[in-house]
Structure 1
Amino acid sequence: MPLTNPCTKLDLLKNAYYDDFKQLKEIKVGGRVSNMWKAKYQLFGENCQVFSWGGKQHSYSCRLVAPNEETAQNYYHNAKKITQQCLGDEWQLEESKRKHDDGMKAVFTNHDAKHSEQVSFSTHLVPTSGLFSTTWTLYYYVGNSSQPSKKAD
């Protein structure tokens, strides 16, 4: 059942991480490096999927395309603000420029959690240059920050 409260969504995603997002997996789609499933619910953005890396590490990912840079910046700042409010003070924000483009990334991690429970929430603001214009996409990830990420940097 779709949820509307952002904090309830984050809590559901955090709990789902510990169960490999099983309750969010719907249709399996092929992948060369990883297994992918279309997500049952679009908890953030659009086109949400669950990825499995090596069969053991899973992440949940969504993307939202913005009509312009200003809107994308607003999405990014709102995602950071809501995530911080919902997760609380024990979660640390690390924000930096992305390595391979002019975008930004914000990663929330609870460093006090046991290593086996180290889930992170991140949002990435990504510019995509086209022939006639640049579009901006916001990605939202939930998973272990030490796992490989398809578009993370």
Structure 2
Amino acid sequence: MPRFIPLLSSLFILSACNATLTPEQQAEVEKLSACDKINALVKGYSNEFNGLKSQKVTNKYADIWQAKYQLVGDRCQISQFSGQQLAYQCQKGFNNQVDALENYKEAVAFTQACLSPDNWKMEQVSNGQSVRTNFHLENFPIISIHSGKTLAKMNNTWSTSFQVGAQPTSYAK
């Protein structure tokens, strides 16, 4: 995948229209636990997350939908770049590594608690600047949680991301 695609993805997030759920829909979403959401994402992957999509933005590179609920941060989306599989992605920014890692650890913990009864395998890769945990089970999408320093030049910023979909294209090594 070309290196500019992650940058374009970030720009699409910022340009997306704000779709809002009805108060009734929002009340239902707020009742869902993290496990309910993760299970819906895993099941929804096979039907292109159709029940989880909201507002759509399209351009020549990708189709991007605002997700109906968030797991990490408040800007989750479902994206499909030209001819590729869809992925549910969330990201949350932090001013320091400590807060980013704390958020990452929480996400790994609630994901592991939800998936462990089904024998999902967990793999973790770290290089000191970033850490990634992948959960995988045959015939299911990969769940990947990553925390690391961003490429921002102006600030010392960190982020944590959560993805459900095909194998991530880059790993912390």
TM-score interval for Structure 1 and Structure 2 normalised by the shorter chain: 0.7 to 0.9
Q: Among 11, 15, 39, which residue is 2:67 paired with?
A: 39
Q: Residue 108 of structure 1 corresponds to which residue in structure 2?
A: 135
**Which of the two has greater helix per residue?**
2
Q: CA deviation at 1:22?
A: 0.8
Q: Is the 8 A contact 1:118 1:144 kept in 2?
A: no
Identity over aligned residues, as a percent? 29
Q: CA deviation at 1:140?
A: 0.4
Q: Return closer, same or farther for 1:126/1:30 CA change in 2, 3 Å cut-off.
A: farther
**Which of the two has greater strand per residue?**
1
Q: Return closer, same or farther for 1:38/1:103 CA change in 2, 3 Å cut-off.
A: same
Aligned to 2:75, the other structure's residue is in SS state strand
Structure 1: how far apart are the matches of 2:49 and 2:86?
A: 7
TM-score computed with the length of structure 1 as normaliser: 0.80
Q: Among 70, 81, 84, which residue is 2:109 paired with?
A: 81
The 5-angstrom pairing of residues 1-153 of structure 1 reads 1-3=28-30, 4-55=32-83, 57-88=85-116, 90-97=119-126, 102-110=129-137, 113=138, 117-128=139-150, 130-131=152-153, 133-145=155-167, 149=169, 152-153=170-171
Q: Return closer, same or farther for 1:54/1:133 CA change in 2, 3 Å cut-off.
A: closer
Q: CA deviation at 1:15?
A: 1.2
- Where structure 1 has 5 or more consecutive residues not aligned to the other structure, the ranges are none
TM-score computed with the length of structure 2 as normaliser: 0.71
Q: CA deviation at 1:128?
A: 2.0
- Where structure 2 has 5 or more consecutive residues not aligned to the other structure, the ranges are 1-27
**Deviation string, structure 1 residues 92-116 (Cα, Å, up to 9, x no partner):** 1111137xx9211111001xx3xxx
Amino acid of the residue matched to residue 64 of structure 1? K
Amino acid of the residue matched to residue 52 of structure 1? Q
Structure 1: how far apart are the matches of 2:54 and 2:131?
A: 30
